[in-house]
A and B are shown apart, each in its own frame.
Chain A
Amino acid sequence: MQMPSLWGAVAVAGFQLRRLLTPPRLAMAALGAVFPAAVMLAASRASRGRLDPDLAVVLLYVLIPEGLCLLGLLVTMCPAVSDELERGTWVHVTVRPSGRASLLLGTFLAAVVWTGSVALIALGIALAVTKVWHPEAVAMAFSGLIVLSCIGRAALFALPAVIMPKRALVASVGVAIVVEYLAGVLPAVVNQATVSLRLRTLLVEWMGWRRKLPVEIQLLVDMQPAWVQVIAVFIVAAVFLTAALFILERRQFPPSEEV
């Protein structure tokens, strides 16, 4: 397997981010950034301003590190290969030394930066309109959760992006449902490889909820400390990315499939 060039990956990331700076993409990002705040306001109104602060945190968690990050990564990471094939740029990139590896890692970086930025802005707006205990602590914890969610899920979506580029979006939604939300809540060994288990556990740890949790909910989180969860996310991401790189290095597309 080729070793990706750091400068190549940075070049791809910069180029991909500039591609995202189009009016439709910016409008979508703006919508994503205000949507969680709108939902929090609606929930607060529905509860006549007495939304339980812990419930508000759970709602924020579902909306931002889970919902918004997942959606953002679906549209930025999944087309890693298919977009290049459609634009006729795949062949230009793959005839460069380490082009394939740079393309994957650069797109991964761009997806994390773009989605992470939108999610952090969304968090700031949502916290401004939501009553929670210790908003600074919540902001810190959620910033960490957003970064980890983006890294873990972008790496996960890299696999469908390289295995079935033309169906990557559908496949990634399937992977998100089956791996993250089905296997992730099974109290079995299989959930250890999911990002959702690690994020839930970190939420519980960083919010100091471990002792408050009912026994049946404790089955949905891991018993290990926070630093183990953080390392686990990086390991899972590294494994997914390495597998995706391995596959991408061997992918071949007949000339008729390019464009």
Chain B
Amino acid sequence: MIHITHLTKLYGSVIGVNDVTVDLDVGAHGLLGPNGAGKTTFLGLITGQLRPTMGRVEVFGEPPFANPRVLRRIGYCPAADLAERHATPQAWVRYLVRLSGFTGGEAESRAERAIEQVGLDSASRRPIATLSKGMRQRVKIAGAIAHDPDLLVLDEPFIGLDPVARHELVHLVRGWSRDRSLIVASHLLHEVEALDAGLAVILGGRLVASGAALEIRSLIESLPAEIRVRCFPPQRFAEVAWRSTGVESVRVESEDIVVVATRQPAALAAVAQQAAADGLAIAEVMPADRSLEGIFGRLVQLHRGVGP
């Protein structure tokens, strides 16, 4: 369905997407990455808003940039908020359906159906500006699905949604991807996992991992855990830690912080006890970097062959 070869997008000297090669078959796919990773640029290239600086992107066998044949088959829900003040959801979605080539009556009924699908029928005649963020999010999704595309692309679709709305949207999107294709970009792993989608992890414009969700999770879980130890003097603690088994790296980060990477975090307790017995002052032991940024950082290291 999507065939991407050495795809690069530059904004002047800033890299948006960097040498990405990937094939995405028909089905559901999650695009995972922290903010600023290049997800929106990647989606912009797939949905024909941006033209590659280098490389090639083909959607349904053709380059999508300003290509009506491809664009007719794509529905896109961008991450940016919809600041259309005066139009109602019904008028806005009908307008988008008409831009997709449908005439008045057909556009009206498609818009109505899409608004009903996203559960906005009670608010369909209210100005968009008076709707909550979550409702505006649903308006955008209705606009993306109303013309019945073969590929639905959602950029951070769960932002601003309460848990109930999130659950409903997951249900709607999963139903959608049963017989059509779906790409969902998010910076939250559990959101993408909930969609039963294959995963591609992007960071710094590069595709650092791709595969089934389970594979990516086991890859993340196979990474050594980083433990941050506040102690004094840190150099002595580093020496003790480095001699113990299971420790993969030790880094003195500041005057009283040592970061230890290990696959056996439990073993570090013994190290700390030994160090305390040796007269070192240990103030704190805590996981250093289990944030998504940290996990992505380790994935990049794996990608570059730097990590374990």
Contacts and interface: CB of A to CB of B under 8 A. Distances in A.
Nearest to B71: A97
Contacts of A19: 86-87
Nearest to B50: A252
Interface in B100-124: 100-101, 103
Interface string A65-81: 00000000000000000
B101 A5 contact: yes
Interface residues on A, range: 20 to 34
A97 B86 contact: no
Interface stretch (A40-48, A98-106, A189-197, A199-207): A98-106
A19 B95 CA distance: 12
Contacts of A224: none
B49 A18 contact: no
A212 interface: no
Contacts, number: 94
Contacts of A98: 68, 99, 101
Interface residues of B, number: 36
B212 interface: no
Nearest to B38: A255
A93 interface: yes
The residue in A7, A15, A97 that gathers the most chain B C-beta atoms within 10 A of its C-beta is A97
Given A19-B86, A254-B11, A7 B81 contact: no
Contacts of A89: 82-84
A2 B71 CA distance: 12
The residue in B47, B50, B66, B74 that gathers the most chain A C-beta atoms within 10 A of its C-beta is B66
A96 interface: yes
B68 A254 contact: no
B30 interface: no
Nearest to B51: A252
Given A11-B99, A97-B72, A2 B66 contact: yes
A95 B86 contact: no
A211 B103 CA distance: 53
Contact of B66 (A86, A91, A249, A258): A249
Interface of B: 11, 16, 40-41, 44, 47-51, 66, 68-69, 71-72, 74, 76, 78, 80-87, 91, 95-96, 98-101, 103, 140, 143
Interface of A: 2, 5, 7-8, 11-12, 15, 18-19, 22, 86-89, 91-100, 102, 249-250, 252-255, 258-259
